C-alpha cells in the first residue's frame, strides 16, 4: 500500500500506520504507512505545478485521456470488484454489477462532458460592449471520500474536477484505499500527466485536515457524514474562505400510500434498505406506510428480511455481506440496543453467530413503534435497519417524510399520478423516486438539500460545480472618451 504523488508510488511519511482489514473475517490485509501533512503538502505542490498544463489542454485532450482510463478500468473490472469486496465486506454481486460498472460509466460520461462545457452569454447587453461568459477551472481541488462505495466516490469526486481542467488531491477513507489508487494509476497510464491526480491515504484528522487547510487548495469537495462536513466547512472558511462542495448524510423516507402496489413496495423497501448493508446515503431508512396496509407491509418486509442469504462477501450467492468494520457494527448495534427501550424489534437486532461471529455482520433489522422524534427515526444508522411508521392522511405522510434534518433522497409509492406529482414537489430532497428507490444514472445530478449538504455529483451540474464563471466584457467603440465617463468627470 502506498501513496500516489506526482505520477509515482511513494511511501507515506507520517508516524501513523493504517490497518486494512477484511471485515468479513477480521483478517488484517495490510498495515501501510499513512500519509500525513508532509505528504499532503507534496501532493498539493505537484497538483499546483500540473495545473497550468492541464487547464490549458483542449477539451478533446482531456476527454481522450478519460476515455482511455475508462477502457483501462474496464479491463481491470474483476480485480477492482474483488478489491472493493475484500475491503468493505460488500457482496461481490454488488461490486461487479453496481459499484464497478457504475464507476466506469461515470468516467466515460465525464469524458464526454469534458467537451460540453460552455458559457451562457455572448451578446451586446450594453451598447458598445460585447459580453461573454467563460467557465474556467478553479485550481487544485482537495477531494475527500468515504468508505461506503470507495471507487464510486473517488470517481464522483475526481472526474468532473478533471474534466473541467482542475487538478486533484484525493484522500480516500484510510480503510478502503485500494481502488482509489488503482483509479489514479489508470488515469496516469491513460496519459493524464503526473501531478494532475494524486492520492494520499491517511486519516481524516491528519491528512484530511491538512488537505482542507492547505493554502494552495482552492476548493474542497467532501463526501461523508454531516458532522465531519461541518468541521470541513468551518476549516475551509478559516483557511480561505474556499469553495466547498458537501455531500453528506441522509435518512431517506419511503412513503407507501394506500393505493400502492404492495408487493412492489415490500420488495423495494427490502432492496432499498439492504443495499450495501444499508451503508448507502440514499438507502431507504424510514418506511412511512398508510395504516390500511401497515400490517401487511411489516410482515412482508420481515419475511423477506429473514430470507436474505447472509454469507461470505466473495461468494456469488451472498445477498448480505458484513458491515465495513467492527467499529461501525458497534455503532449500528448501539443504536438498535437503545431503540429497544422505546420501540419493538420485529426481526434482527443482533449479529449472527456461528461461522459469522468472526466478521462484522449484522442481521437485517426491522423496527416498529418508534416515536417520530426518537434517535432511530431521526439519526442516520448507516446499517441494515429500517423503521416503519403508520400514517392516516397524505398530509401527515408528507409531514413525517420531512421530519428529519436531512434531505438527500426519498421515494413515494402510489398508482395515482396526481398524488405522485404532489408528493415529489413537496418533499425537500435532492432526489425523489416514484415506485422505485436507489437507481442512479451518470446523466442525472446527485446531492442533498438541508443538512445533507449542497453541490451536485454526477451529470453536467457537477461539471459546472468545478468551474469559476468569468464575465469578459470587451469595448467595441474604440473611443478614448466613453460616453459613461461623464458620470465620473465632465470634459
Ligand atoms: P466520515 O465523515 O467519517 O469520513 C469521510 C471522510 O472524511 C473520510 O475520508 C475521513 O477520513 C475524512 N475525515 C474525517 N475527519 C476529517 C477531518 N477532520 N478533516 C478532513 N477529513 C476528515 O464518513 P464515513 O463514515 O467515511 O462515511 C459515511 C458517511 O458518508 C455517511 O454519513 C454517509 O451518509 C455519507 N455519504 C454521503 C454521500 C452523499 O453523496 N451524500 C455518499 C456516500 C456517503
Coil vs helix vs strand at 186: helix
Are residues 424 and 409 part of one domain?
yes
Residue 366 belongs to domain with CATH number:
3.40.309.10
CB of 200 closer than 6 angstroms to any ligand 1 atom: no
pLDDT of 265 higher than 80: yes
Are residues 288 and 176 part of one domain?
no
Inside any domain, residue 480: no
96 pLDDT band, cuts 50/70/90, is very high
Are residues 282 and 347 part of one domain?
yes
Are residues 269 and 166 part of one domain?
no
Are residues 454 and 338 part of one domain?
no
Nearest to 438 by CA among 250, 312, 290, 291: 250
Mean pLDDT for 217-242 is 97
Inside any domain, residue 483: no
Coil vs helix vs strand at 381: coil
Nearest to 105 by CA among 156, 172, 148, 54: 156
Are residues 265 and 156 part of one domain?
no
CB of 205 closer than 6 angstroms to any ligand 1 atom: yes
Inside any domain, residue 488: no
Q: Pairing state of beta strands 27-30 and 20-22?
A: antiparallel
Mean pLDDT for 78-93 is 98
417 pLDDT band, cuts 50/70/90, is very high
Are residues 192 and 336 part of one domain?
no
Distance CA 393, CA 407 (A): 22
Coil vs helix vs strand at 257: coil
Residue 72 belongs to domain with CATH number:
3.40.605.10
Phi, psi dihedral angles at 378 (to 5 degrees): -95, -30
Coil vs helix vs strand at 438: coil
Give nearest CA residue, ligand 1 atom 34: 249
Are residues 404 and 341 part of one domain?
yes
| Predicted local distance difference test score (pLDDT) of residue 288 | 98
Mean pLDDT for 247-274 is 98
| Predicted local distance difference test score (pLDDT) of residue 355 | 93
CB of 208 closer than 6 angstroms to any ligand 1 atom: yes
Are residues 97 and 226 part of one domain?
yes
Are residues 165 and 211 part of one domain?
yes
The distance between the two most distant Cα atoms of the chain, rounded to a whole number of Å, is 94
pLDDT of 361 higher than 90: yes
Counting from 1 in the atom list of ligand 1, the atom nearest the Cα of 174 is: 11
Convert the pLDDT of each residue in 283-329 to its tens digit: 999 999 999 999 999 999 999 999 999 999 999 999 999 999 999 99
Inside any domain, residue 489: no
Could you write out the DSSP letters of every residue in 68-121? HHHHHHHHTHHHHHHHHHHHH---HHHIIIIIHHHHHHHHHHHHHHTT----S-
CA distances from 308 to 20, 97, 267, 386, 488 (A): 27, 18, 12, 15, 76
Distance CA 129, CA 120 (A): 16
Candidate from 34, 151, 228 with most ligand 1 atoms within 8 A of CB, to mutate: 228
Inside any domain, residue 257: yes
| Predicted local distance difference test score (pLDDT) of residue 120 | 86
CB of 146 closer than 6 angstroms to any ligand 1 atom: yes
Convert the pLDDT of each residue in 343-357 to its tens digit: 999 999 999 999 999
Phi, psi dihedral angles at 83 (to 5 degrees): -65, -40
Distance CA 114, CA 318 (A): 38
50 is in which domain, residue-wise?
3-248+448-472
| Predicted local distance difference test score (pLDDT) of residue 1 | 63
Convert the pLDDT of each residue in 369-401 to its tens digit: 999 999 999 999 999 999 999 999 999 999 999
Distance CA 88, CA 22 (A): 7
Angle between helices 59-75 and 77-88 (to 10 degrees): 70
Distance CA 295, CA 233 (A): 44
Nearest to 411 by CA among 295, 271, 229, 307: 271
Among 50-64, 113-127, 243-257, name the one with the lowest average pLDDT.
113-127
User: What's the domain count of the chain?
Assistant: 2
Inside any domain, residue 309: yes
CA of 22 to the centre of ligand 1 (A): 20
Average model confidence (pLDDT) across the chain = 97
Mean pLDDT for 169-190 is 98
Are residues 173 and 68 part of one domain?
yes
Distance CA 459, CA 137 (A): 17
Nearest to 173 by CA among 19, 331, 355, 345: 19
Instruction: Give the cell for residue 446.
Output: 446527485
Convert the pLDDT of each residue in 103-138 to its tens digit: 999 999 999 999 999 888 899 999 999 999 999 999
Mean pLDDT for 429-456 is 98
| Predicted local distance difference test score (pLDDT) of residue 350 | 98
Mean pLDDT for 151-156 is 98
Which active-site residues does the annotation give?
Answer: 247, 281
Inside any domain, residue 109: yes
Are residues 308 and 196 part of one domain?
no
- pTM of this prediction? 0.97
CA of 220 to the centre of ligand 1 (A): 13
Convert the pLDDT of each residue in 274-294 to its tens digit: 999 999 999 999 999 999 999
Inside any domain, residue 138: yes
Amino acid at each position: 500500500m502506498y501513496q500516489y504523488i506526482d505520477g509515482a508510488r511513494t511511501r507515506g511519511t507520517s508516524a501513523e500506520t493504517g490497518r486494512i482489514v477484511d471485515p468479513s473475517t477480521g483478517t488484517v490485509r495490510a498495515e501501510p504507512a499513512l500519509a500525513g501533512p508532509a505528504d499532503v503538502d507534496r501532493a498539493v505542490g505537484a497538483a499546483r505545478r500540473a495545473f497550468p498544463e492541464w487547464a490549458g489542454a483542449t477539451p478533446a485532450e482531456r476527454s481522450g485521456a478519460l476515455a482511455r482510463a475508462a477502457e483501462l478500468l474496464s479491463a481491470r473490472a474483476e480485480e477492482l470488484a474483488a478489491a472493493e469486496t475484500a475491503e468493505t465486506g460488500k457482496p461481490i454481486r454488488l461490486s461487479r454489477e453496481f459499484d464497478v460498472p457504475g464507476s466506469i460509466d461515470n468516467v466515460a460520461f465525464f469524458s464526454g462532458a469534458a467537451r460540453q462545457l460552455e458559457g451562457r452569454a455572448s451578446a451586446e447587453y450594453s451598447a458598445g460592449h460585447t459580453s461573454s461568459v467563460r467557465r474556467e477551472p478553479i485550481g487544485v481541488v482537495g477531494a475527500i471520500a468515504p468508505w461506503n462505495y470507495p471507487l464510486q466516490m473517488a470517481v464522483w469526486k475526481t472526474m468532473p474536477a478533471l474534466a473541467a481542467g482542475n487538478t486533484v488531491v484525493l484522500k480516500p477513507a484510510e480503510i478502503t484505499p485500494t481502488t482509489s489508487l488503482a483509479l489514479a494509476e489508470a488515469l496516469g497510464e491513460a496519459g493524464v500527466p503526473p501531478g494532475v491526480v494524486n492520492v494520499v491515504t491517511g486519516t481524516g484528522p491528519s491528512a484530511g485536515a491538512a488537505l482542507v487547510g492547505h493554502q494552495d487548495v482552492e476548493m474542497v469537495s467532501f463526501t461523508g457524514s454531516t458532522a465531519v462536513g461541518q468541521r470541513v466547512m468551518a476549516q475551509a472558511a478559516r483557511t480561505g474562505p474556499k469553495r466547498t462542495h458537501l455531500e453528506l448524510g441522509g435518512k431517506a423516507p419511503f412513503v407507501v400510500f394506500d393505493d400502492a402496489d404492495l408487493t412492489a413496495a415490500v420488495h423495494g423497501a427490502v432492496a432499498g434498505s439492504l443495499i450495501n448493508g444499508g451503508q448507502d446515503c440514499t438507502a431507504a431508512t424510514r418506511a412511512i406506510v398508510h395504516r390500511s396496509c401497515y400490517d401487511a407491509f411489516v410482515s412482508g418486509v420481515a419475511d423477506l428480511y429473514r430470507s436474505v442469504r447472509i454469507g461470505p462477501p466473495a461468494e456469488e450467492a451472498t445477498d448480505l455481506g458484513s458491515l465495513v468494520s467492527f467499529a461501525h457494527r458497534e455503532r449500528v448495534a448501539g443504536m438498535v440496543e437503545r431503540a429497544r427501550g422505546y420501540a419493538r424489534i420485529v426481526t434482527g437486532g443482533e449479529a449472527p453467530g456461528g461461522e459469522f461471529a468472526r466478521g462484522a455482520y449484522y442481521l437485517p433489522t426491522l423496527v416498529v413503534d418508534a416515536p417520530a422524534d426518537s434517535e432511530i427515526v431521526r439519526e442516520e444508522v448507516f446499517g441494515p435497519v429500517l423503521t416503519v411508521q403508520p400514517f392516516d392522511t397524505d398530509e401527515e405522510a408528507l409531514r413525517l417524510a420531512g421530519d428529519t434534518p436531512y434531505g438527500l433522497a426519498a421515494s413515494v409509492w402510489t398508482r395515482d399520478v396526481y398524488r405522485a406529482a404532489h408528493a415529489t414537489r413537496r418533499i425537500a430532497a435532492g432526489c425523489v423516486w416514484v415506485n422505485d428507490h436507489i437507481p442512479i444514472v451518470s446523466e442525472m445530478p446527485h446531492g442533498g438539500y438541508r443538512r445533507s449538504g449542497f453541490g451536485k455529483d454526477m451529470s453536467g451540474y457537477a461539471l459546472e460545480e468545478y468551474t469559476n464563471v468569468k464575465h469578459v466584457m470587451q469595448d467595441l467603440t474604440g473611443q478614448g472618451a466613453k460616453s459613461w465617463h461623464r458620470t465620473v468627470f465632465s470634459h
